[in-house]
Amino acid sequence: MGAGDILFFLAAAVSIAAAVVAVTDERLLHSVLAFGVFLFAIACAFLIMGAEFVAVAQIFVYVGGVAVLILFGVMLTASRGAQRTVETEHPMWAMVCALVLAGTLIAVAAAYRPATAVQSRAVDVSLLGNALLGPQLVGFELIGLILLASVIAALAVVRREPGR
């Protein structure tokens, strides 16, 4: 039971528990808090896998950005109360679909044998920078475009329509 194993089980247990609470909790505030814990656990899982910069980037963008955005949504839409936010008419079918999905994914995962051995040395930040500005330059520029497009789209949706 090396350090990696214990840390992995810790991160896995916390992330699954937090995801379940985030998905099933009645009170919206509790599920958003559980979502925050889930994101932190996923950042720890990234660190276990040696992706240090990605783990910190996850905390910076997801915990600092997306979770804050969702909390803004909760604050602005008065949906804080304990009114029923769960239970479509037939949650059982959703459970069945989820179980089938989980079953197939786990079966495929168990059957997969990676061709090359797993390298455990961490990827240094400058290596990541080289990859980002070198071979992945197209993606780098496209992300800028996507950011611009999403700002224009979001503001168009939210702005009061002058026309009407």
Partner 1 sequence: MTRFLVLSGLLLAIGAYGVMTRRNAICTLLGLEIMLNAGNLNLIAFSRVSPSPAVGQTFVLFSIGIAACEAAVGLALILAMWRRYRTVDIDKLVSLKE
Partner 2 sequence: MLMSQRDAGDLIFILGFALVGVAAPAALLFIGRWLRPSSPGKVKMEPYECGLPQASPPRRLFRIRYYAFALLFVIFDVETVLLFASAPVLKRFGAAGLWSVGAFVALVTLALVYAWRMHLLEWE
Partner 3 sequence: MMVTLATSVVWAVGLFVVAALSVMLGVYLERKVAGHMQARLGPMRTGPHGIAQTLADTVKLLFKEDLIPGKVDRLGFIVAPLLAFAPALMSLMVIPYARPFVPRDLNAGVLYFLAVPAIGVIAVMVAGLSSANNYSLLGGLRSAAQLISYEIPRSLSVLSVVMLAGSLSTVTILERQTHVWFAVLTPIGFALYIITTIAELNRTPFDLPEAEAELVGGYHTEYSGLRWAFFMMAEYAGFFAASAFGAAVFLGGGNGPLLPPIVWFVIKTYAIILFMMWVKWTVPRFRIDQVMTLSRKVLIPVALLNLAVTAVVMQYV
Contact set for partner 3, span 59-78 (CB under 8 A)? 59-60, 63-65, 67-68, 71-72, 74-75
What residues have CB less than 8 Å from 95, skipping those under 6 apart?
none
Token pair, residue 6, equals: 């214990």
Residue 84 makes contact with partner 1 by CB under 8 A: yes
Site string for partner 2, 4-43 (x = CB under 8 A): xx-xx-----------------------------------
Helices (H) and strands (E) in the chain, counts: 7, 0
Q: Which stretch binds partner 2 (CB under 8 A): 15-23, 71-79, 83-91, 103-111?
A: 71-79
Which phi and psi angles does 124 have, rounded to 5°?
-75, 155
Query: How many angstroms separate the CA atoms of 143 and 163, rounded?
Result: 32
Residue 63 contact, options partner 3, partner 2, partner 1, none, Cβ 5-8 Å cut-off depending on partner type: partner 3
